[in-house]
Amino acid sequence: MRATTLLNRVFDLPGVRVTGVDLDEVDGTGQVVIEVALRARLLACPACSFTTSLRYDRRDVDSSWRHLDLGGRVCRLRMRRRRLRCPTHGVVTQKVPFARPGARFTADFEDLVVWLVTRSDKTTVATFARVAWRTVGAMCERVAADVIDPHRLEGLVDIGVDEISWRKHHRYLTLVSDHGTSTIVWGAPGKDAATLGKFFDALPEGGLEQLEAVSMDLGLAYIKAVRERAPDAVICFDPFHVIKLVTGALDSVRRQVWQSARRYPDKAIAKKYKGARWALLKNPQDLTDDQGDTLKALRRNGGALWRAYQLKEALRAVFTGDLPPADVMDLIDRWCSRAQRSRIPDFVKAATTIRKNKDGICAAIQRQLSNGRHEGLNNKIRTMTRRAYGFHSPEAALALVMLTCGPTTLTLPYHTGSHPHS
């Protein structure tokens, strides 16, 4: 059997035939170079559906694409592409069916790398694929544009909005989740009202009228955007963020106590408060033995920190039972009164914030709407954003988030019954 015949059967590339093969020695390592040619006679624009049989000129463009490794060697596809004039995009180089526009890798290679990056760390992926990590970010963008469900913004009723840091120095992504499917359906760089406004602009016709409820944290920016763009939607401040507000107040009290203790000659006192963070913030049933002992010591000492901890646990208990909404709101009122009498400034401020947003909290309880699922996704997203620190654009980080937590289906090349790009 001829080598070209064998490679045609092995690669099974759509719309392409193998015309030759060579072993190219580069820096002492052999690269397999596969010469290919398109079967179709028509020239296609890479940016739209325009096709033509007319060439723009006789100057062909030498192009190559990294493909899946062959026998442990780097494999590249190489061909000469013709140029055409598209009425919309001007003079362009013809499209190829085995690679995405603008890519220097085949679609099979990109699908493999992106599948790996959603499941493994960046060092493993970059080493296995023998590519630079920033190159992986560009792959994520191209694959995400190809596989994300284009109808994901249709029929949204209850949504959750939250922000997450994708890089240091206050670089954020705004993410919108669908409570019905527990997936991230939209995202954009930034975390202000204008950023969320872009989501409302992206909704299909009638999408604004279909929205019934939007759950979010207690920040003002998203509240403003929802009230201006979707005034009929009910704003819900879910219990997760209410408790998060109070745990933040508790941690602030701990830091103040720690800073005061640092002035004492005995440094062990300050160390005790510094190491008590997780003992105070975790749920009692999740404490380790050492954390339980730390909590008992804090209880014996008493003071503002122990009273702050009791307030945090009292509010958490309000949201853990199966009480009717009216009873829950009554208990919240009582808690706010208790917190405002505590003379702990951070808890007085938290109680004021809760009273101010009482209607939104009540709406979340009545609708049983919580960002807990969104926060569950956030744990997964934080893993993705840690991997995305090497990416140099928020779009690449967002693409990785959408590929992992969005309405997408990733497949490995050659692992399905039919070729994924045929």
* Per-domain residue ranges of the chain: 1-98, 239-367
Q: Looking at this protein, which amino acid is placed at residue 372?
A: G
pLDDT tens digit sequence for 281-305: 888 888 888 888 888 888 888 888 9
Tokens 């049983």 found at: 368
Residue 266 pLDDT greater than 70, yes or no: no
Contact 305, 254 (CB under 8 A): yes
| Averaged pLDDT of the chain | 87
Q: Would you place residue 265 in the very low, low, confident or very high pLDDT band (cuts 50, 70, 90)?
A: low
Exposed e or buried b per residue across 58-97, where buried means at least 16 C-beta atoms within 10 angstroms of its C-beta: eeeeeeebbbbbbeeebbbbbbebbbbbbeeeeebbbbbe
Assign 236 to helix, strand or coil.
strand
Query: Residue 299 and residue 287: Cα distance in Å, rounded?
Result: 15
Q: Whose CA is closest to 117, among 143, 96, 99, 97?
A: 143
DSSP class of residue 65 equals E
Query: Residue 346 and residue 401: Cα distance in Å, rounded?
Result: 34
Query: Residue 237 and residue 226: Cα distance in Å, rounded?
Result: 13
Query: Residue 308 and residue 253: Cα distance in Å, rounded?
Result: 7
pLDDT tens digit sequence for 37-94: 999 889 999 999 999 999 999 888 999 999 999 888 899 999 999 999 999 999 999 9
Contact 193, 224 (CB under 8 A): yes
Contact 18, 36 (CB under 8 A): yes
The mean per-residue pLDDT over the stretch 355-359 comes to 92
pLDDT (0 to 100) of residue 66: 95
pLDDT (0 to 100) of residue 218: 85
Tokens 């694929």 found at: 129
